[in-house]
Structure 1
Amino acid sequence: MTEFSSSITALDAGRKPQISREDLLMAALRLLGPHRSVSSLGLREVAREAAIAPNSFYRHFHDVDELAVALIDHSGAALRTVVDEARVHVKSGHTVVRGSIEAFMSQLRAEDGLLRVLLREGTTGSDAFKRAVDRQLEFFEEELRVELVRLTEASDAPLHDPALAAKAITRLIFAMGAHALDAPREQDVALIRQMTQMVTMILLGSRQMKTRPV
């Protein structure tokens, strides 16, 4: 066996015989790190990170852009867990708004980096990536709308246009989260306080409009 053939055999031995879409998404996520954009990923480096031959990539995705959109969709799950995590924070004694903001910041700083993908690509990604992020935000807005209606009706303090209030809150937190990406963690406490006040203002304004329509 030649030296070249031996190196190829060794390389093949290190590759996985089968791999799932999830494996490729996780490989891409590991490559991104805290600051890198999905648009900078290369097919070969993703395949190398996943320990597969480049041609095996095409069994799951047509190209890297399709993988990137799938990664954004996958990252949307991190955003939607915020509502569930907020309930846990509230049970610990915090208000609903502060609990929600703390849950968001917890996801933002999570090691998996999923929420960071949404925030980064929603502001700097391609048009296709931004549309994918918008879809995830719309899913979250609907979940937040349902939760807002439940909470405000239970406290007999209904909102004017809960859907619009949910959208305002989501877009505000999304923008503030994008800013927090590049801010040191030492500023998280101040950012949480600011975001809590901003969201409270939106809710108070929506309640006021319910009783005194503009």
Structure 2
Amino acid sequence: MSIREERKQQSRQAIIDAVLQLSASGRAFSSISLREISRQIGLVPTAFYRHFQDMDALALDLVDQVALHIKGILHQLGQGYLYQPDAQTETALTLFFKSVDQRPHQWIFLIAERWGGSTVLRQAIAREIDFLIEDLANDLQRVESVQHFQHAEDLHVLANILINLSLNWAMNWISLGQQFEAEKLQQQQQHFIQQSITQVHLLFRGICHWQRPQPI
């Protein structure tokens, strides 16, 4: 990659990072202006169009990048508590929450804008979450604890539950960091991890005994 291309990529990423920072501060994407983004990163407004056709194009690029990151994290989490739920749940969840701490802005953006004011964003995020659910449902077919499932629809329902549970965990974990400090935060986080472990174990105990009700 040439120096010019590298600088262009850095400038493009700076725009994306600026929106994520504004989102993390509580701003809805629909309330963020092109001029505000440009001012925050020291870019003339017209330079924005070298990277994105308009704000909708920026929104779609943001969703793609954030969804790719979250997909990787959820895949790692799945390796732990789906394939060895009893032995690896605490380790997998601890790693999951550490990954949320490393890049919280991505999670905040996806979760906040999932029900936000931008139609383009809502539709794009819904599409990406559907992809996450579909991928997980396919992975679940190889999991020993669900081999007794006889309907693909049941796997899809389970994947939906797990994806939404993961998003809920991430947002609650981030909220703890905003509410508590130092020693109190550590206590609250450990309590939350234990609660999450209990949720996983309860869920998978039920899965082991699942039988689809007979139609009336």
* CA distance in 1: counterparts of 2:91 and 2:133, whole angstroms: 17
Higher relative contact order (CA 8 A, sep 6+): 2
Q: Which residue of structure 2 aligns with residue 191 of structure 1?
A: 192
Structure number, greater radius of gyration: 1
Q: Is the 8 A contact 2:133 2:156 kept in 1?
A: yes
For residues 29 and 132 of structure 1, do their structure 2 counterparts lie closer, same or farther at Cα, with a shift above 3 Å needed?
same
Q: Name the SS of the counterpart of 2:70 in structure 1.
A: helix
Pair 176,61 (structure 1): closer, same or farther in 2 beyond 3 Å: same
Match of 2:48 among 57, 62, 65: 57
Change in 2 beyond 3 A, CA 1:123/1:109: farther
Change (3 A) 1:137 1:87: closer
- Inter-partner Cα distance in structure 2 for 1:97 and 1:63: 43
Cα distance, 1:213 vs. partner?
4.3
1:104-153 deviation line (CA, Å, top 9, x unaligned): 3223222462122112212445343222222222222223223322232x
Q: Structure 1 length normalisation: TM-score?
A: 0.71
TM-score (norm 2): 0.71
Provide the rounded CA distance (Å) in 2 between the counterparts of 1:43 and 1:62: 11
Q: Which residue of 1 aligns with 2:39?
A: 48
**What does residue 77 of structure 2 align with?**
86
Q: Which runs of 5+ in 1 are unaligned?
A: 1-17
TM-superposed CA distance for 1:203, in Å, is 2.9
Pair 143,200 (structure 1): closer, same or farther in 2 beyond 3 Å:
farther
Counterpart residue type for residue 34 of structure 2: L
CA distance in 1, matches of 2:29, 2:103: 17
Match of 2:61 among 57, 63, 70: 70
Whole-Å separation in 1 of the counterparts to 2:146 and 2:167? 28
What residue is the counterpart of 1:147 in the other structure? 139
Whole-angstrom distance in 1 between the partners of 2:87 and 2:52: 43
Task: Give the secondary-structure state (helix, strand or coil) at the position aligned to 1:61.
Answer: coil
Equivalents in 1 of 2:39, 2:86: separation in Å? 45
Report what 1:169 is aligned to.
Answer: 162
Distance 1:193 1:127 in 2: 37
Q: RMSD of the TM alignment (CA)? A: 3.4
2:50 counterpart letter in structure 1? R
Q: Name the count of aligned residue pairs.
A: 195
Instruction: Report the Cα offset of residue 30 of structure 1.
Output: 3.9
- In 1, Cα distance between equivalents of 2:115 and 2:88: 28
Stretches of structure 2 lacking an aligned partner (at least 5 in a row): 1-6, 178-184
Identical residues among aligned pairs (%)? 24
